[in-house]
Structure 1
């Protein structure tokens, strides 16, 4: 088992035992940072046997069980409900943290956010159900109790945490939860007085609106945010260019969705999507290459990934497959696992639309090998697997049945 799989198993059993990272660190005789790196798969290429034995002992399981087949651990209703419950708490809604608890420092808060964001980009969505609630409480308390520059930064970190909540909720298939988190992120971003954070929150809310069936409104919101913040963002270097470009990418995806969902002038929405993608491309050129400022993965490659997704949304499967095939492999390898797996699932959708169903099964298997949760846990991908079962996949039927079993689909 490699370090990433081992870290995920440790995280799974630690949360099953209701141990915080600090408590587990104390049991292991290590620092909190050590546990964060262990669970994130960043400590070593292969887990040291002494570490494996001690972790198993402290977690109350056998070594064989800790190292057992790393079945994909999808988020359950309990994890999603925990996030929803925190968002509904009075102190989190109002920011009125009346207790005497000392807020965590903005440095610690930022480090926890980076850890969770890194997990998301690696395609580990289930663990966010345990990370996000504590992050939301800590960030809300910090924003409510700090003053001056620390308070502004805390509001920015709160907004970014709410953005992560929105992104995770989309992966979990809970668009209502995503919409609530997206609206809160925009409100916190305004309190931060940081235009980069404001633009970042706006692109996440536009994404939530699109997935919640409000695509036309999402186009208007994203483009209004881009118009309002454009001049200031151009002065903020890679961060500003990246979030500005992402606003146009999300507006393009919303336009493509509106073309399929809106009865009023769908052709106009369809025509607008490539124009918005071209606008994003221009900002990617200004940026000068691929990057990951503000966890956007923005650059020419991510623009191409969104172009594939837009073609799929517009039921232009052959075009989607062609664009995907034209993305340079070295550039794609530089993308986070989540982005690469997302592209593969989009390509699989395009292949189904183009009648290439056997190929679509192999593409989904490739995505599963890269970031399993993107395929076997995400409702969107599971629906595609079910569609393939209904349509038939020729010589890939056996592989498809096995994939459907891993997705938990009824036989």
Structure 2
């Protein structure tokens, strides 16, 4: 075994678990000096398998994550999701009340910068960092909202809502199946209402609609987003790019919710499918009003993003050929100007469209393009990993070797 490589992996996971070398040493029954030697890969500290098994257990990782020569897959893992859940289920976060920590609340400008940093990391597809950032951000934002007064308190509620929306978005990325995104989404809406800011309210509503769709409630999600748009539209249209962008995103999320609902085998499915293009057209009107592409309040909203959503909606409706045709209408330069996460997400959707259209070699090529844009979007997202598994079962002709290599980089079994 390569002791230096193993040491680097142990150090990486220890730091992700927020353990000092002293704390980690206590947990495995070793001194800090021994931990230092272990992480440095010193030959005299070459670990026995029994110790590595204990280390893996303490760090809550698979033993192969420490000893196998395979690429690390950067994702928010189950331990970090559980840490986020613990914070969301704390008395302070549930009630919006103060905690017992004597620390002074963060100034609202510092808090706003930290929230902006988290959203910037998300849009850059630096997802692994969110597992460490989000729990602390939620605690500090809630504390600021509970302790500040006046305009500072309203600003703190805006930041708290945006932090909860970030929690919701990250939870969906990593396939949380236990309602974490919906919990965060509901609390984001509550914080937004307390802020009194219609832009933050609209942003929180569009994220909750996304969470509700993910949680198996697409029709309720569509109705919620459309109602929110109607309630807030007058105020949003006076708020410039942020107002129009959040308003347009409500219609995009409603469109995707209807597309998901249309998959259901019931009498309302056809009605849901017919509503999708109408909702997309409504979003397109607001994009035209906006006058160009942008990223106001981390929406990436504009004409180009509406076109990306048209592709995604066709894919959701299993209209692969139509999705491929819609993708041809997207300007390459305009797509390249979007945030990395959005570009990679679109390419993953397009790969699914090619699969539906029977062009499986093109699907593999497109997945590789998505990986080049943002490897986390391909290697970490459950929905993309499932597509890779589907392609392996279906067969991809001359792209077999490239698909096999991609599956290995995703940590999928051979």
Does TM, scored on the shorter chain, surpass 0.5? Answer: yes
Q: Deviations over 1:11-46 (max 9, x none)?
A: 9578348379xxxxxxxxxxxxxxxxxxxxxxxxxx
- Within 2, Cα distance between the matches of 1:97 and 1:197? 22
- Within 2, Cα distance between the matches of 1:350 and 1:403? 19
- Within 1, Cα distance between the matches of 2:171 and 2:310? 23
- Within 1, Cα distance between the matches of 2:322 and 2:131? 36
User: Is 1:348 the counterpart of 2:385 in the alignment?
Assistant: no
Shift of 1:323: 1.1
Q: Output the TM-score relative to the length of structure 1.
A: 0.84
Q: Output the TM-score relative to the length of structure 2.
A: 0.84
Shift of 1:96: 2.1
The corresponding residue for 1:192 is 195
The corresponding residue for 2:321 is 318
Shift of 1:262: 5.4
User: Is 1:150 the counterpart of 2:152 in the alignment?
Assistant: yes
SS at match of 2:263: helix
The unaligned stretches of length 5 or more in structure 1 are 1-8, 21-56, 63-67
- Within 1, Cα distance between the matches of 2:373 and 2:302? 21
Cα–Cα, structure 1 residues 17 and 282, in superposed 2: closer, same or farther, change >3 Å? closer
The corresponding residue for 1:73 is 74
The corresponding residue for 1:25 is none
1:246 corresponds, among 234, 249, 256, to 249
Shift of 1:408: 1.7
The alignment covers a number of residue pairs equal to 361
SS at match of 1:260: coil
- Within 2, Cα distance between the matches of 1:234 and 1:104? 32
- Within 2, Cα distance between the matches of 1:136 and 1:170? 17
Alignment of 1:229-378 (within 5 A): 229-261=232-264, 263-378=266-381
1:116 corresponds, among 99, 115, 118, to 118
Cα–Cα, structure 1 residues 304 and 14, in superposed 2: closer, same or farther, change >3 Å? farther
- Within 2, Cα distance between the matches of 1:61 and 1:373? 28
- Within 2, Cα distance between the matches of 1:409 and 1:16? 22
Shift of 1:74: 2.3
2:211 corresponds, among 208, 213, 216, to 208
- Within 2, Cα distance between the matches of 1:146 and 1:408? 46
Q: Deviations over 1:161-182 (max 9, x none)?
A: 0000000000010151111111
CA contact 2:71–2:409 (8 Å) conserved in 1: no
- Within 2, Cα distance between the matches of 1:355 and 1:254? 26
The corresponding residue for 1:96 is 97
Shift of 1:70: 7.0
1:159 corresponds, among 144, 158, 161, to 161
Shift of 1:75: 2.2
Shift of 1:226: 0.3
Shift of 1:131: 0.4
- Within 1, Cα distance between the matches of 2:13 and 2:210? 33
2:138 corresponds, among 133, 136, 139, to 136
Shift of 1:69: 9.3
The corresponding residue for 1:54 is none
- Within 2, Cα distance between the matches of 1:162 and 1:128? 12
Which entry has the higher C-alpha Rg, 1 or 2?
A: 2
1:403 corresponds, among 386, 390, 406, to 406
* CA RMSD, 1 decimal: 2.1
Shift of 1:200: 0.3
Cα–Cα, structure 1 residues 247 and 338, in superposed 2: closer, same or farther, change >3 Å? same
Cα–Cα, structure 1 residues 132 and 282, in superposed 2: closer, same or farther, change >3 Å? same
- Within 2, Cα distance between the matches of 1:170 and 1:61? 36
- Within 1, Cα distance between the matches of 2:277 and 2:362? 27
Cα–Cα, structure 1 residues 393 and 284, in superposed 2: closer, same or farther, change >3 Å? same
Cα–Cα, structure 1 residues 262 and 12, in superposed 2: closer, same or farther, change >3 Å? farther
Deviates more, 1:100-109 or 1:195-204: 100-109
- Within 1, Cα distance between the matches of 2:129 and 2:113? 16
The corresponding residue for 1:53 is none
Shift of 1:403: 1.0
The corresponding residue for 1:385 is 388
- Within 2, Cα distance between the matches of 1:195 and 1:120? 23
- Within 1, Cα distance between the matches of 2:164 and 2:40? 35
The corresponding residue for 2:83 is 82
Shift of 1:95: 2.1
- Within 2, Cα distance between the matches of 1:13 and 1:326? 44
- Within 1, Cα distance between the matches of 2:12 and 2:113? 21
Shift of 1:127: 1.4
